Structure 1
Amino acid sequence: MEFVWLWKCSSRCWTYLQIEWPGGGDLYDIISSARRDFRRSFFIEVVIICCWNIWKQRNDFIFDGLMPSFRSWKYGFKEDVALLMHRVKPAVADALKSWMRSLL
């Protein structure tokens, strides 16, 4: 877990996704605050996919010697969101698609 927060690009990932993690407080309060500020129904899904792709960057670094990069993370994130869109209700898929288009 340490790698997730220490990897320099992880803060760029959260900024890209428009998710702000407030400092202090317990974990429940931090997640609740970030979820409230994100204001979309698919917050948990986005957080899980983001963390999963940061974890995959870590594994690529440890096991294959590949340097983590925002570009590689972003590609994996978009691929996983595209897969998620096939498993959610059409309204959620449309909202996710619209949100993804709004990202820089």
Structure 2
Amino acid sequence: MSPADLAVDSGRCLIDLGETGPTLHQITQGVALLPTARDKTRAVFLTYEAESLLRQGEIDHSAALAGEALVLAQRIGASRCLRQISDLARGYEPHRKVQGVEQFLSIVRAAA
């Protein structure tokens, strides 16, 4: 397991435990350590980071990262990540008026 994987997996566990404080740092660190050759993993990690931000109320930043993950997942055909993003998109429904959210949701709908 690489340091990038370890950092993001730690962040993912923190999300599952509801500990959103240190989560973002762990995931961001893992994404930064990830080599560009691992784009599929990058898309998954960006989705985790978007989920962490969404739970922390950073809706606009979260939607931007989720959109980035979606574009990357579409480009490389990462179907598992596309499902994760689609599932995550439900969390944005109450925030349609936040900048970038409606655009993100329409991209998700178009991808479905």
Q: Report TM bin, short chain.
A: 0.3 to 0.5
TM-score, scaled to structure 1: 0.34
Between structures 1 and 2, the one with greater helix share: 2
Structure with more relative contact order (C-alpha pairs < 8 Å, separation 6 or more): 1
Quick check: which has more Rg, 1 or 2? 1
Taking structure 2 as the reference length, the TM-score comes to 0.32
